[in-house]
Amino acid sequence: MNKAYPMKQVIDDQGNLVDTSSSSQISKELAQNAYYHMYRIRTFDKKAKSLQRQGRIGTYPPFEGQEASQVGSALALRENDWLFPTYRDHGAMLTFGSNMTRTFLYWNGRLEGCVPPEGKNIFPAAVPIATQLLHAVGASWAEKRKGTDNIAIAYFGDGATSEGDFHEGLNFASVFQTPTIFFNQNNGYAISVPFERQMNSRTIAQKGVAYDIPSVRVDGNDFFAVYFEMQEAIKRARSGNGPTLIEAVTWRTGAHTTADDPTKYRPEGLGQDVVDPIVRLERFMKNQGYYEDEFIATTQSKVEEEIEAAVKEMEAYPKANVEDLFDHVYANPPEQLMEQKNSYLQLLGGE
């Protein structure tokens, strides 16, 4: 199946253009825009990890190494499209227009972190595995029934393919030809479970065959490969030709979350040969004459100022109200839940 689904690539690790059919679509503006967003979310990610280690936010799931996949997919979307993220896709959310302060607030336990900017169709991060696929299919089906050409993208990892929601989502999307993009980021591990123990399939892309869904496998560390394949999938969806399954093969450099220790299950040295997606883009920009010191310096300064301002604004909020955990689940809370709430408040009062 690897031969049936070859990994599509536009630029190689050294930044050389290997797919000349895409050269006419690449511009200095596109490359610099990609760099801006990739550097922005990388810097956000590093800051969030630092804040967690300092006890200033809660447990955090880093995505370093997956910037090309998240930016390349999100930049291809249109203003009124829908984005359904996992808990690790805040890079895509930020690229699509999420507010950075609210993104920090989410990881600091505040409800405001689930509220998208006005006019943006961005669903709250899904912590349960694969549930967002069904939501994306439903939203895109609704858009189709309303007669719009808006589409929905659902992000998910390789572990989500073991969930029933994955198969139900693909089946429903296929039957009703919904304008849904199923965007998989395959980084080789679903927390401690390696890809080869997750499934016997050689690729995730081939799973679309059973549902007669067009599927493609791309180099997830190549911004241009992701971006152009997303454009093709979106074109099919908008024209009424149904869903697409995209497998972006990438590599997450760090832990599953800040509460995880990958040295316990990932062999030492694994992934060291993977070229950083930002480094790859920089090499391409230098090869093409798109790399400008002034642009890089301005971008980095602008991003760092934005992030520091967002952190300051996030920390100006009062601490999250622990009662929110109990008060917004049921219209009429059951007795057992109220007992739990009272016990917890008494515990906090004793501290």
Which residues have a catalytic role annotated?
252, 256, 265
Contact 204, 197 (CB under 8 A): no
Residue 185 has φ and ψ, to the nearest 5°, of -105, 105
CB neighbour list of residue 286: distance below 8 Å, 6 or more residues apart: 15
Q: Per the structure block, which two tokens stand in for 5?
A: 């689904």
- Exposure string over 62-97, b if 16+ CB within 10 A, otherwise e: bbbbbbbbbbbbbbbbeeebbbbbbbbbbbbbbbbb
Nearest by Cα to 159 from 42, 44, 252: 252
Say which DSSP state 296 is in: H
- The four Cα atoms 85, 89, 93, 95 give a dihedral, to 10 degrees, of -140
- Cα–Cα distance for residue pair 195/34, rounded to 1 Å: 29
- Cα–Cα distance for residue pair 70/305, rounded to 1 Å: 22
